[in-house]
Amino acid sequence: MFRSALTMANKSIFNLPLIKAKTITSGLKYSLATGNWGQANAAGTRAGVSQVLNRLTYASTLSHLRRLNSPIGREGKLAKPRQLHNSQWGMICPAETPEGQACGLVKNLALMVYITVGSAAYPILEEWGTENFEEISPSVIPQATKIFVNGMWVGVHRDPDMLVKTLRRLRRRVDVNTEVGVVRDIRLKELRIYTDYGRCSRPLFIVDNQRLLIKKKDIYPLQQRESAEEDGWHHLVAKGFIEYIDTEEEETTMISMTINDLVQARLRPDEAYSKTYTHCEIHPSLILGVCASIIPFPDHNQSPRNTYQSGMGKQAMGIYVTNYQFRMEDSVIMNQSSIDRGFFRSLFFRSYRDEEKKMGTLVKEDFGRPDRASTMGMRHGSYEKLDDDGLAPPVSMKERLFDQSEAYRVHVCETCGLIAIANLKKNSFECRGCKNKTDIVQVHIPYACKLLFQELMSMAITPRILTKGLKSAKGRK
Protein backbone atom coordinates (compact mmCIF):
# COMPACT_ATOMS: atom_id res chain seq x y z
CA MET A 1 0.00 0.00 0.00
CA PHE A 2 2.84 2.35 0.93
CA ARG A 3 4.78 1.55 -2.27
CA SER A 4 1.74 2.18 -4.51
CA ALA A 5 1.11 5.52 -2.78
CA LEU A 6 4.76 6.52 -3.35
CA THR A 7 4.55 5.55 -7.00
CA MET A 8 1.42 7.63 -7.41
CA ALA A 9 3.18 10.60 -5.78
CA ASN A 10 6.19 10.27 -8.13
CA LYS A 11 3.91 10.16 -11.14
CA SER A 12 2.16 13.32 -10.02
CA ILE A 13 5.53 15.12 -9.56
CA PHE A 14 7.22 14.12 -12.82
CA ASN A 15 4.23 14.27 -15.12
CA LEU A 16 3.71 18.03 -14.78
CA PRO A 17 2.09 19.49 -17.89
CA LEU A 18 4.43 22.54 -17.68
CA ILE A 19 7.60 20.51 -18.51
CA LYS A 20 7.85 18.63 -21.78
CA ALA A 21 10.74 16.20 -22.16
CA LYS A 22 10.75 16.84 -25.90
CA THR A 23 11.54 20.52 -25.34
CA ILE A 24 14.78 19.73 -23.44
CA THR A 25 15.75 16.95 -25.86
CA SER A 26 15.23 18.98 -29.02
CA GLY A 27 16.99 22.00 -27.46
CA LEU A 28 20.08 19.95 -26.61
CA LYS A 29 20.07 18.31 -30.04
CA TYR A 30 19.90 21.70 -31.75
CA SER A 31 22.70 23.15 -29.62
CA LEU A 32 25.01 20.16 -30.12
CA ALA A 33 24.33 20.02 -33.86
CA THR A 34 24.82 23.72 -34.63
CA GLY A 35 27.14 24.82 -31.82
CA ASN A 36 24.81 27.73 -31.00
CA TRP A 37 24.25 27.56 -27.24
CA GLY A 38 21.00 29.08 -26.11
CA GLN A 39 17.53 29.46 -27.53
CA ALA A 40 17.32 29.58 -31.31
CA ASN A 41 17.21 33.14 -32.71
CA ALA A 42 17.38 34.63 -29.19
CA ALA A 43 19.71 37.34 -27.92
CA GLY A 44 22.81 36.23 -26.01
CA THR A 45 23.24 32.97 -27.96
CA ARG A 46 26.89 31.84 -27.98
CA ALA A 47 28.27 30.32 -31.20
CA GLY A 48 30.90 27.58 -31.47
CA VAL A 49 30.40 26.05 -28.01
CA SER A 50 30.21 22.55 -29.51
CA GLN A 51 32.29 21.67 -32.57
CA VAL A 52 32.74 18.59 -34.74
CA LEU A 53 36.09 17.10 -33.77
CA ASN A 54 38.56 17.26 -36.66
CA ARG A 55 39.58 13.71 -37.64
CA LEU A 56 41.45 14.43 -40.87
CA THR A 57 44.72 13.32 -39.30
CA TYR A 58 45.95 12.56 -35.78
CA ALA A 59 47.86 15.85 -35.42
CA SER A 60 44.74 17.83 -36.40
CA THR A 61 42.70 15.95 -33.76
CA LEU A 62 45.20 16.73 -30.99
CA SER A 63 45.50 20.34 -32.13
CA HIS A 64 41.70 20.77 -32.12
CA LEU A 65 41.46 19.37 -28.59
CA ARG A 66 44.09 21.84 -27.33
CA ARG A 67 42.66 24.98 -28.94
CA LEU A 68 41.95 28.21 -27.05
CA ASN A 69 39.44 30.83 -28.15
CA SER A 70 39.63 34.43 -26.92
CA PRO A 71 36.12 35.88 -26.45
CA ILE A 72 36.87 39.03 -28.45
CA GLY A 73 35.08 40.16 -31.61
CA ARG A 74 36.91 39.31 -34.82
CA GLU A 75 35.99 42.62 -36.44
CA GLY A 76 38.22 44.81 -34.29
CA LYS A 77 41.57 45.89 -35.72
CA LEU A 78 43.28 46.20 -32.33
CA ALA A 79 46.75 44.64 -32.40
CA LYS A 80 47.35 44.29 -28.64
CA PRO A 81 45.01 41.34 -27.93
CA ARG A 82 46.56 39.46 -30.85
CA GLN A 83 50.22 39.84 -29.92
CA LEU A 84 52.33 37.37 -27.97
CA HIS A 85 52.74 38.20 -24.28
CA ASN A 86 55.61 37.28 -21.96
CA SER A 87 53.26 35.47 -19.57
CA GLN A 88 52.33 33.02 -22.36
CA TRP A 89 55.86 31.55 -22.49
CA GLY A 90 55.70 27.77 -22.22
CA MET A 91 51.91 27.78 -21.96
CA ILE A 92 50.74 28.85 -25.43
CA CYS A 93 52.36 27.95 -28.75
CA PRO A 94 54.00 31.04 -30.31
CA ALA A 95 53.54 29.72 -33.88
CA GLU A 96 50.20 27.93 -34.18
CA THR A 97 47.45 30.47 -34.84
CA PRO A 98 45.17 31.03 -37.86
CA GLU A 99 45.86 33.55 -40.57
CA GLY A 100 43.42 36.37 -41.20
CA GLN A 101 40.88 37.93 -38.84
CA ALA A 102 41.25 35.27 -36.09
CA CYS A 103 45.06 35.67 -35.99
CA GLY A 104 46.28 35.82 -32.40
CA LEU A 105 42.76 35.42 -30.96
CA VAL A 106 42.58 31.65 -31.55
CA LYS A 107 45.57 30.05 -29.84
CA ASN A 108 46.85 26.54 -29.04
CA LEU A 109 48.27 25.08 -25.84
CA ALA A 110 51.95 24.13 -25.76
CA LEU A 111 52.89 20.45 -25.73
CA MET A 112 53.04 19.59 -22.01
CA VAL A 113 50.53 22.13 -20.69
CA TYR A 114 47.90 20.74 -18.33
CA ILE A 115 44.64 22.49 -17.40
CA THR A 116 43.80 22.01 -13.73
CA VAL A 117 40.49 20.33 -12.85
CA GLY A 118 40.30 21.65 -9.28
CA SER A 119 40.65 20.11 -5.81
CA ALA A 120 39.43 20.72 -2.24
CA ALA A 121 40.65 24.05 -0.82
CA TYR A 122 40.52 24.11 2.97
CA PRO A 123 42.05 20.80 4.17
CA ILE A 124 45.46 22.15 3.11
CA LEU A 125 45.89 24.80 5.81
CA GLU A 126 44.20 23.34 8.88
CA GLU A 127 47.31 21.69 10.38
CA TRP A 128 50.03 24.24 9.57
CA GLY A 129 49.50 27.15 11.90
CA THR A 130 47.13 29.34 9.91
CA GLU A 131 45.29 31.67 12.32
CA ASN A 132 41.63 32.49 11.63
CA PHE A 133 40.22 35.96 12.15
CA GLU A 134 38.40 34.82 15.30
CA GLU A 135 41.75 33.94 16.95
CA ILE A 136 43.71 37.18 16.34
CA SER A 137 43.49 40.88 17.08
CA PRO A 138 43.68 43.49 14.26
CA SER A 139 47.08 44.67 15.52
CA VAL A 140 48.67 41.33 14.52
CA ILE A 141 47.69 41.60 10.87
CA PRO A 142 50.36 44.14 9.69
CA GLN A 143 53.19 41.98 11.09
CA ALA A 144 51.83 38.63 9.76
CA THR A 145 51.45 37.35 6.21
CA LYS A 146 47.95 37.23 4.78
CA ILE A 147 46.80 33.84 3.46
CA PHE A 148 44.52 33.78 0.41
CA VAL A 149 42.88 30.62 -0.97
CA ASN A 150 41.49 31.05 -4.50
CA GLY A 151 41.36 34.81 -3.94
CA MET A 152 39.56 34.63 -0.58
CA TRP A 153 41.34 35.93 2.54
CA VAL A 154 41.11 33.09 5.06
CA GLY A 155 43.60 34.08 7.77
CA VAL A 156 47.19 35.03 8.59
CA HIS A 157 50.43 33.16 9.31
CA ARG A 158 53.45 34.27 11.34
CA ASP A 159 56.05 32.02 9.61
CA PRO A 160 55.26 32.10 5.89
CA ASP A 161 58.69 30.73 4.86
CA MET A 162 58.05 27.52 6.79
CA LEU A 163 54.50 27.26 5.41
CA VAL A 164 55.64 27.64 1.78
CA LYS A 165 58.40 25.02 2.19
CA THR A 166 55.97 22.64 3.90
CA LEU A 167 53.28 23.01 1.22
CA ARG A 168 55.78 22.47 -1.60
CA ARG A 169 57.30 19.44 0.14
CA LEU A 170 53.83 17.95 0.60
CA ARG A 171 52.97 18.67 -3.03
CA ARG A 172 56.14 16.95 -4.26
CA ARG A 173 55.23 13.87 -2.21
CA VAL A 174 51.64 14.01 -3.57
CA ASP A 175 50.30 14.40 -0.01
CA VAL A 176 48.81 17.61 -1.39
CA ASN A 177 47.29 17.62 -4.87
CA THR A 178 49.93 18.26 -7.55
CA GLU A 179 47.65 20.92 -9.10
CA VAL A 180 47.87 23.24 -6.09
CA GLY A 181 49.66 26.52 -6.81
CA VAL A 182 51.68 28.18 -4.01
CA VAL A 183 52.61 31.84 -4.64
CA ARG A 184 54.42 33.92 -2.03
CA ASP A 185 54.52 37.69 -2.56
CA ILE A 186 57.14 38.91 -0.07
CA ARG A 187 56.72 42.58 -0.92
CA LEU A 188 52.96 42.57 -0.27
CA LYS A 189 53.28 40.05 2.62
CA GLU A 190 50.81 37.70 0.96
CA LEU A 191 50.67 33.96 0.39
CA ARG A 192 48.25 33.04 -2.40
CA ILE A 193 47.16 29.41 -2.76
CA TYR A 194 45.21 28.25 -5.81
CA THR A 195 43.25 24.99 -5.98
CA ASP A 196 40.61 26.01 -8.54
CA TYR A 197 40.05 24.63 -12.02
CA GLY A 198 40.93 26.18 -15.37
CA ARG A 199 44.53 27.25 -14.62
CA CYS A 200 47.32 26.52 -17.14
CA SER A 201 50.21 24.63 -15.59
CA ARG A 202 53.27 22.89 -17.04
CA PRO A 203 55.82 20.37 -15.74
CA LEU A 204 59.40 21.34 -14.84
CA PHE A 205 62.40 19.51 -13.40
CA ILE A 206 62.99 20.44 -9.75
CA VAL A 207 66.42 21.92 -8.93
CA ASP A 208 68.07 21.84 -5.50
CA ASN A 209 71.44 23.52 -4.85
CA GLN A 210 71.83 24.10 -8.62
CA ARG A 211 71.51 20.33 -9.31
CA LEU A 212 68.65 18.37 -10.84
CA LEU A 213 66.95 16.04 -8.38
CA ILE A 214 66.40 13.52 -11.19
CA LYS A 215 69.50 11.45 -12.00
CA LYS A 216 70.56 9.13 -14.82
CA LYS A 217 69.78 6.12 -12.63
CA ASP A 218 66.15 7.28 -12.61
CA ILE A 219 66.07 7.57 -16.41
CA TYR A 220 67.48 4.09 -17.19
CA PRO A 221 64.41 2.19 -15.82
CA LEU A 222 62.17 4.32 -18.05
CA GLN A 223 64.20 3.31 -21.11
CA GLN A 224 64.04 -0.37 -20.14
CA ARG A 225 60.32 -0.60 -19.34
CA GLU A 226 58.31 -2.83 -21.65
CA SER A 227 54.70 -1.89 -20.86
CA ALA A 228 52.74 1.24 -20.05
CA GLU A 229 51.71 -0.26 -16.69
CA GLU A 230 55.26 0.03 -15.33
CA ASP A 231 56.51 3.14 -13.51
CA GLY A 232 56.39 6.14 -15.82
CA TRP A 233 55.50 9.83 -15.79
CA HIS A 234 53.30 9.76 -12.69
CA HIS A 235 56.05 7.89 -10.85
CA LEU A 236 58.50 10.76 -11.59
CA VAL A 237 55.97 13.28 -10.26
CA ALA A 238 55.31 11.21 -7.11
CA LYS A 239 59.07 10.85 -6.51
CA GLY A 240 59.43 14.64 -6.45
CA PHE A 241 61.58 14.93 -9.61
CA ILE A 242 59.00 16.88 -11.61
CA GLU A 243 56.28 19.30 -10.50
CA TYR A 244 53.55 21.26 -12.22
CA ILE A 245 53.89 25.05 -12.02
CA ASP A 246 51.05 27.40 -12.98
CA THR A 247 51.42 30.87 -14.46
CA GLU A 248 51.14 32.67 -11.09
CA GLU A 249 53.74 30.50 -9.36
CA GLU A 250 56.02 30.70 -12.40
CA GLU A 251 56.54 34.38 -11.57
CA THR A 252 58.25 33.36 -8.30
CA THR A 253 60.65 30.77 -9.83
CA MET A 254 64.01 30.93 -11.60
CA ILE A 255 64.03 28.44 -14.51
CA SER A 256 67.15 27.36 -16.39
CA MET A 257 66.74 26.54 -20.07
CA THR A 258 69.25 23.66 -20.11
CA ILE A 259 71.31 21.54 -17.74
CA ASN A 260 74.39 23.47 -18.96
CA ASP A 261 73.04 26.59 -17.24
CA LEU A 262 73.02 24.69 -13.93
CA VAL A 263 76.58 23.45 -14.50
CA GLN A 264 77.76 27.01 -15.15
CA ALA A 265 75.91 28.26 -12.05
CA ARG A 266 77.84 25.71 -9.96
CA LEU A 267 81.28 25.99 -11.55
CA ARG A 268 81.38 29.68 -12.56
CA PRO A 269 78.72 31.47 -10.54
CA ASP A 270 80.19 34.92 -11.30
CA GLU A 271 79.77 34.41 -15.07
CA ALA A 272 76.41 32.60 -14.86
CA TYR A 273 73.11 34.29 -15.65
CA SER A 274 71.79 33.22 -12.23
CA LYS A 275 72.97 31.14 -9.28
CA THR A 276 69.55 30.72 -7.67
CA TYR A 277 67.78 28.37 -10.09
CA THR A 278 64.76 26.56 -8.66
CA HIS A 279 63.62 24.65 -11.76
CA CYS A 280 64.89 23.50 -15.17
CA GLU A 281 63.06 23.14 -18.48
CA ILE A 282 62.46 19.54 -19.57
CA HIS A 283 63.31 20.61 -23.14
CA PRO A 284 63.21 24.04 -24.81
CA SER A 285 61.06 22.69 -27.69
CA LEU A 286 58.14 22.16 -25.29
CA ILE A 287 57.15 25.81 -25.74
CA LEU A 288 55.65 24.73 -29.11
CA GLY A 289 52.26 23.19 -29.77
CA VAL A 290 51.35 19.91 -31.45
CA CYS A 291 51.63 21.07 -35.07
CA ALA A 292 54.62 23.41 -34.63
CA SER A 293 56.64 20.73 -32.81
CA ILE A 294 56.70 18.45 -35.90
CA ILE A 295 58.31 21.12 -38.11
CA PRO A 296 61.96 20.23 -38.86
CA PHE A 297 64.37 22.88 -37.54
CA PRO A 298 61.69 25.47 -36.65
CA ASP A 299 64.37 27.66 -35.02
CA HIS A 300 65.97 28.14 -38.47
CA ASN A 301 62.76 29.38 -40.12
CA GLN A 302 61.29 32.81 -40.53
CA SER A 303 58.54 32.95 -37.89
CA PRO A 304 55.53 33.34 -40.26
CA ARG A 305 56.68 30.18 -42.08
CA ASN A 306 56.18 28.18 -38.88
CA THR A 307 52.68 29.66 -38.59
CA TYR A 308 51.87 28.69 -42.19
CA GLN A 309 53.12 25.11 -41.71
CA SER A 310 51.18 24.77 -38.44
CA GLY A 311 48.02 25.46 -40.44
CA MET A 312 48.95 23.20 -43.38
CA GLY A 313 49.94 20.27 -41.15
CA LYS A 314 46.28 20.04 -40.04
CA GLN A 315 45.16 19.66 -43.66
CA ALA A 316 47.11 16.45 -44.32
CA MET A 317 45.15 13.23 -44.53
CA GLY A 318 46.42 10.39 -42.39
CA ILE A 319 45.64 7.56 -40.03
CA TYR A 320 46.35 7.69 -36.31
CA VAL A 321 47.82 4.17 -36.00
CA THR A 322 49.45 1.91 -38.58
CA ASN A 323 47.03 -0.98 -37.96
CA TYR A 324 43.97 1.19 -38.63
CA GLN A 325 41.43 -0.79 -40.69
CA PHE A 326 39.80 1.19 -43.48
CA ARG A 327 38.01 0.42 -46.75
CA MET A 328 40.43 -0.02 -49.61
CA GLU A 329 38.02 0.35 -52.57
CA ASP A 330 40.17 0.28 -55.74
CA SER A 331 43.62 0.00 -54.17
CA VAL A 332 46.12 -2.84 -53.82
CA ILE A 333 47.66 -4.07 -50.55
CA MET A 334 51.09 -5.70 -50.61
CA ASN A 335 53.57 -6.73 -47.97
CA GLN A 336 57.21 -5.76 -47.61
CA SER A 337 58.67 -9.24 -48.08
CA SER A 338 56.99 -9.63 -51.48
CA ILE A 339 58.63 -6.38 -52.61
CA ASP A 340 61.97 -7.62 -51.22
CA ARG A 341 61.61 -10.78 -53.31
CA GLY A 342 61.19 -8.75 -56.49
CA PHE A 343 57.48 -8.00 -56.75
CA PHE A 344 56.86 -5.34 -59.45
CA ARG A 345 60.54 -5.40 -60.41
CA SER A 346 61.14 -5.54 -64.16
CA LEU A 347 64.17 -6.68 -66.14
CA PHE A 348 65.01 -5.99 -69.75
CA PHE A 349 67.92 -6.82 -72.07
CA ARG A 350 69.36 -4.55 -74.71
CA SER A 351 71.02 -6.21 -77.69
CA TYR A 352 74.01 -4.80 -79.57
CA ARG A 353 75.06 -5.93 -83.02
CA ASP A 354 78.47 -5.53 -84.56
CA GLU A 355 80.73 -7.33 -87.01
CA GLU A 356 84.43 -7.58 -87.78
CA LYS A 357 85.35 -5.53 -90.82
CA LYS A 358 88.26 -5.60 -93.19
CA MET A 359 88.98 -2.75 -95.59
CA GLY A 360 91.70 -3.64 -98.03
CA THR A 361 94.95 -5.01 -96.69
CA LEU A 362 95.81 -2.26 -94.20
CA VAL A 363 92.77 -1.52 -92.01
CA LYS A 364 91.35 -4.42 -90.08
CA GLU A 365 88.76 -4.53 -87.31
CA ASP A 366 88.42 -7.55 -85.03
CA PHE A 367 86.98 -8.37 -81.61
CA GLY A 368 89.44 -8.47 -78.66
CA ARG A 369 90.62 -6.83 -75.50
CA PRO A 370 91.68 -3.29 -76.48
CA ASP A 371 95.19 -2.01 -75.90
CA ARG A 372 96.79 1.37 -76.57
CA ALA A 373 99.06 0.19 -79.31
CA SER A 374 96.42 -1.08 -81.72
CA THR A 375 93.15 0.62 -80.75
CA MET A 376 91.97 3.99 -82.00
CA GLY A 377 89.75 6.23 -79.79
CA MET A 378 90.30 4.09 -76.70
CA ARG A 379 88.73 5.59 -73.58
CA HIS A 380 90.34 5.76 -70.16
CA GLY A 381 89.24 2.89 -67.98
CA SER A 382 89.97 -0.67 -66.95
CA TYR A 383 89.39 -3.42 -69.52
CA GLU A 384 90.82 -6.20 -67.35
CA LYS A 385 87.52 -8.02 -66.92
CA LEU A 386 87.17 -8.68 -70.67
CA ASP A 387 88.26 -11.99 -72.18
CA ASP A 388 90.64 -12.21 -75.13
CA ASP A 389 87.67 -12.17 -77.51
CA GLY A 390 86.59 -8.79 -76.08
CA LEU A 391 83.41 -10.11 -74.44
CA ALA A 392 82.63 -10.05 -70.74
CA PRO A 393 82.94 -13.51 -69.19
CA PRO A 394 79.92 -15.05 -67.43
CA VAL A 395 79.89 -13.76 -63.83
CA SER A 396 80.69 -16.39 -61.22
CA MET A 397 78.02 -17.33 -58.66
CA LYS A 398 80.20 -16.13 -55.79
CA GLU A 399 80.87 -12.74 -57.40
CA ARG A 400 77.25 -12.24 -58.40
CA LEU A 401 75.67 -13.30 -55.14
CA PHE A 402 78.29 -12.36 -52.56
CA ASP A 403 80.85 -9.82 -53.74
CA GLN A 404 78.37 -7.59 -55.60
CA SER A 405 75.50 -7.96 -53.12
CA GLU A 406 75.07 -5.89 -49.98
CA ALA A 407 75.82 -7.58 -46.66
CA TYR A 408 72.80 -8.44 -44.52
CA ARG A 409 73.18 -9.23 -40.81
CA VAL A 410 71.24 -12.10 -39.25
CA HIS A 411 71.49 -13.97 -35.94
CA VAL A 412 71.54 -17.74 -36.20
CA CYS A 413 70.82 -20.42 -33.59
CA GLU A 414 73.81 -22.74 -33.22
CA THR A 415 71.55 -25.57 -32.05
CA CYS A 416 69.08 -25.83 -34.92
CA GLY A 417 70.46 -23.42 -37.55
CA LEU A 418 67.27 -21.32 -37.81
CA ILE A 419 67.36 -17.51 -37.92
CA ALA A 420 66.76 -16.21 -34.37
CA ILE A 421 64.96 -13.10 -33.10
CA ALA A 422 67.39 -10.40 -31.94
CA ASN A 423 66.69 -7.28 -29.86
CA LEU A 424 69.99 -5.37 -30.10
CA LYS A 425 68.83 -2.52 -27.82
CA LYS A 426 68.28 -4.93 -24.93
CA ASN A 427 70.99 -7.36 -26.05
CA SER A 428 68.49 -10.23 -25.98
CA PHE A 429 68.34 -13.14 -28.46
CA GLU A 430 65.91 -16.04 -28.81
CA CYS A 431 65.35 -18.92 -31.20
CA ARG A 432 61.61 -19.59 -31.29
CA GLY A 433 62.20 -23.05 -32.77
CA CYS A 434 64.22 -24.63 -29.95
CA LYS A 435 63.76 -21.95 -27.21
CA ASN A 436 67.53 -21.33 -27.20
CA LYS A 437 68.55 -17.94 -25.76
CA THR A 438 72.32 -18.33 -25.31
CA ASP A 439 73.98 -20.08 -28.27
CA ILE A 440 73.22 -17.45 -30.90
CA VAL A 441 75.82 -16.20 -33.39
CA GLN A 442 75.89 -13.21 -35.71
CA VAL A 443 76.33 -13.94 -39.44
CA HIS A 444 76.64 -11.64 -42.45
CA ILE A 445 75.00 -13.04 -45.57
CA PRO A 446 74.50 -11.47 -49.00
CA TYR A 447 71.23 -9.63 -49.43
CA ALA A 448 70.50 -11.92 -52.39
CA CYS A 449 70.85 -14.87 -50.00
CA LYS A 450 68.35 -13.29 -47.63
CA LEU A 451 65.86 -12.95 -50.53
CA LEU A 452 66.49 -16.59 -51.46
CA PHE A 453 65.76 -17.69 -47.88
CA GLN A 454 62.49 -15.74 -47.91
CA GLU A 455 61.55 -17.37 -51.20
CA LEU A 456 62.24 -20.83 -49.79
CA MET A 457 60.24 -20.13 -46.62
CA SER A 458 57.29 -18.96 -48.71
CA MET A 459 57.36 -22.44 -50.33
CA ALA A 460 57.39 -24.15 -46.88
CA ILE A 461 61.09 -25.06 -47.21
CA THR A 462 63.10 -24.33 -44.05
CA PRO A 463 66.67 -23.11 -44.74
CA ARG A 464 69.17 -23.76 -41.93
CA ILE A 465 72.62 -22.16 -41.53
CA LEU A 466 75.27 -24.36 -39.90
CA THR A 467 77.86 -22.20 -38.12
CA LYS A 468 81.34 -23.23 -37.05
CA GLY A 469 83.93 -21.29 -35.06
CA LEU A 470 81.81 -18.11 -34.70
CA LYS A 471 81.66 -16.28 -31.39
CA SER A 472 78.38 -15.92 -29.52
CA ALA A 473 76.35 -12.83 -30.48
CA LYS A 474 76.29 -11.65 -26.85
CA GLY A 475 80.06 -11.82 -26.67
CA ARG A 476 80.64 -9.74 -29.78
CA LYS A 477 81.22 -6.00 -29.45
In a domain, 353, yes or no: no
C-alpha pair distances (Å), 165 with each of 64, 128, 184, 391, 409: 38, 11, 11, 88, 57
Domain with 439 in it: what CATH number?
Answer: 3.90.1800.10
> What is the tally of structural domains in the chain?
2
Q: Say whether both 272 and 125 belong to one domain.
A: yes
Assess whether 266 and 131 both reside in one domain. yes
Q: Do the domain assignments include residue 148?
A: yes
Among 239-253, 257-271, 461-475, the least confident range: 461-475
Q: Determine, yes or no, domain membership for 311.
A: no
Asked which of 263, 281, 299 is the last residue of a domain, the reply is: 281
Does residue 228 form part of some domain?
yes
Q: Give the closest residue to 449 by CA, choosing from 415, 417, 404.
A: 404
pLDDT > 90 fraction of the chain, expressed in percent and rounded: 41
Does residue 77 lie in a domain region? no
Q: Does residue 263 sit in the same domain as residue 410?
A: no
Q: Are residues 128 and 268 in the same domain?
A: yes
Q: What is the pTM of this model?
A: 0.63
Asked, for residue 111, whether it belongs to a domain, the answer is no
Of the residues 330, 354, 371, 388, only one is catalytic, namely 330
The residue that leads in pLDDT, 437 or 336, is 437
| Structural domain harbouring 406 | 400-475
- Please tell me whether residues 127 and 261 are part of one structural domain: yes
Domain assignment of residue 169, yes or no: yes
The verdict on 275 and 404 lying in the same domain is: no
Whether 97 and 103 have beta carbons less than 8 Å apart is answered as: yes
Whether 243 has a pLDDT exceeding 80, the answer reads: yes
With 0-12 CB in 10 A as exposed, 13-18 as middle and 19+ as buried, what is 34?
middle
pLDDT in tens, 12-57: 555 656 778 888 888 888 889 888 888 777 777 888 889 999 988 8
- Examine the pLDDT at 456 and tell me if it is beyond 90: no
Model confidence at 228, pLDDT cuts 50, 70, 90, reads: confident
What pLDDT, on a 0 to 100 scale, did the predictor assign at position 365?
80
Query: Does 366 participate in catalysis according to the annotation?
Result: no
The residue from 281, 296, 318 where one domain ends is 281
Q: Is 201 contained in some domain?
A: yes
Q: Let me know whether 273 and 406 are in one domain.
A: no
Mean predicted lDDT score pLDDT of the chain = 85
Where residue 246 sits, what CATH number does that domain have?
Answer: 3.90.1070.20
Looking at 250, 281, 312, the residue that finishes a domain is 281
